[in-house]
């Protein structure tokens, strides 16, 4: 009984750890640039495929399988640099437009990235095989949990703390918060917004691609994984509140664990339950649990 419960809970927390990374990327971009990035799920998929390729290259060239997590994370982070291209090449043209157009531009990215992934990696699912078992299994209260999952959970927690430190303790963090709060004022005080936007968007992209890379040893990469994840990430930020990091953290835990419980108790309910919660939150508390003033 406890073993079963721990299994469900750990599965949920693992999923939450990944969801948090993607949702954090969504939040930081929304907070500063006021753009709801529908393509965050596509970046996640891009990270996943790149992770598979990076690990494949690493093991094919004699890298020790136990160290596969290094090329995995590096590949995930490196492909996040595509954020620079997207920001400079597309997004910078629409900052002063109506948000409908911003939303549609990110939808255009969703379409393009989906097919770019299909062109590069094909339509069949790809995976890293059973590599993650290299780290063995841990026994927690009678349940068996892959150690890899624990590593990802720990890494996600560390990143959450790192983001907290970045936002509250560093100069760049202060600039981010100031820009999110009042863009004109920050500009008047000498902040170069172009510079802030490039870095913030790239940071958001990298969080998404890293999330995709880290999830992949535990599953397989499929071309639809991006458009499926975006609706979950969207549920996370609605529940937590748009633009709030703490909200992303709590929202990810809620969505991750609930999904895991629903799958094992009553599978038909799985995502239905989460969307119903999203609707309830939007109706009773549109700001979400940790959101700032309602827009």
Partner 1 sequence: MRTPVVLSLVGIAFLGLPVVAPAYYVTLMLPFMAYGVVLLGLNLLFGYTGLVSFGHALFIGIGAYTGAVLTTHLGVRHMELILPAAALAAAVVAAPVGALCVRYVKIYFGMLTLAFGMVFYTFLLKFYKLTGGDEGMRMLRPYLLGSEWTGYSKTAYLIGPYYYFSLAVLVLATLLMWRIIGSPFGLCLKTIRDNPLKAESLGVSVPRYRWYAFMISAVYAAVGGALLATPTGNVDPTLAYWTHSGNIVFMVLLGGFGSFFGPLLGAFAFIFLQDTVMSVFPYWRLIFGAVLAFIVIFAPGGLMGLFARRRRPVEVSRA
- Give the binding site for partner 1 (CB under 8 A): 36, 38, 90, 93-94, 96-101, 103-105, 107-116, 118-119, 227, 231, 234-235, 238, 242, 267-272, 275-276, 278-279, 282-283, 286, 294-295
Kindly tell me which of 189 and 294 has the beta carbon lying closer to partner 1.
294
Cα angle: 118, vertex 151, 6; to 5 degrees: 100
Q: Which of 50, 101, 92 is nearest to 71 (CA)?
A: 50
Q: Closest approach of Cβ 230 to partner 1, in Å?
A: 8
261 close to 12: Cβ distance less than 8 angstroms: yes
Q: Closest approach of Cβ 199 to partner 1, in Å?
A: 22
Q: Closest approach of Cβ 149 to partner 1, in Å?
A: 26
Kindly tell me which of 77 and 103 has the beta carbon lying closer to partner 1.
103
Kindly tell me which of 116 and 151 has the beta carbon lying closer to partner 1.
116
Kindly tell me which of 208 and 217 has the beta carbon lying closer to partner 1.
208
Kindly tell me which of 56 and 240 has the beta carbon lying closer to partner 1.
240
Kindly tell me which of 115 and 181 has the beta carbon lying closer to partner 1.
115
Kindly tell me which of 73 and 289 has the beta carbon lying closer to partner 1.
289
Q: Closest approach of Cβ 100 to partner 1, in Å?
A: 5
Q: Closest approach of Cβ 202 to partner 1, in Å?
A: 19
Q: Closest approach of Cβ 135 to partner 1, in Å?
A: 34
Q: Closest approach of Cβ 11 to partner 1, in Å?
A: 19
Write phi, then psi, for 192 (nearest 5 degrees). Answer: -85, 105
């Amino acid at each position: 009984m406890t073993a079963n419960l721990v299994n469900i809970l750990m599965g949920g927390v693992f999923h939450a750890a990944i969801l948090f990374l993607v949702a954090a990327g969504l939040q930081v971009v929304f907070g500063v640039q006021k753009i709801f990035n529908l393509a965050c799920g596509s970046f996640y998929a891009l990270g996943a495929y790149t992770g598979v390729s990076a690990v494949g290259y690493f093991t094919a060239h004699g890298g020790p399988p136990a160290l596969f997590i290094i090329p995995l994370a590096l590949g995930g982070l490196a492909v996040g640099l595509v954020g620079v291209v997207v920001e400079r090449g597309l997004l910078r043209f629409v900052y002063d437009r109506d948000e409908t157009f911003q939303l549609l531009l990110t939808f255009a990215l969703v379409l393009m990235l989906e097919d770019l992934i299909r062109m590069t990696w094909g339509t069949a699912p790809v995976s890293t095989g059973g590599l993650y078992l290299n780290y063995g299994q841990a026994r927690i209260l009678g349940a068996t949990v892959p150690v890899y999952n624990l590593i990802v959970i720990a890494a996600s927690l560390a990143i959450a703390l790192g983001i907290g430190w970045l936002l509250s303790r560093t100069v760049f963090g202060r600039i981010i918060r100031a820009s999110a709060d009042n863009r004109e004022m920050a500009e008047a005080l000498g902040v170069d917004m172009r510079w802030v936007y490039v870095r913030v968007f790239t940071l958001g992209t990298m969080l998404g691609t890293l999330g995709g890379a880290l999830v992949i040893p535990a599953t397989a990469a499929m071309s639809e994984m991006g458009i499926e994840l975006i609706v979950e990430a969207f549920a996370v930020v609605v529940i937590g509140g748009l633009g709030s990091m703490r909200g992303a953290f709590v929202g990810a835990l809620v969505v991750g664990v609930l999904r895991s419980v629903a799958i094992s108790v009553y599978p038909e309910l799985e995502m239905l339950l989460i969307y119903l919660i999203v609707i309830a939150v939007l109706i009773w508390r549109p700001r979400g649990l940790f959101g700032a003033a309602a827009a």
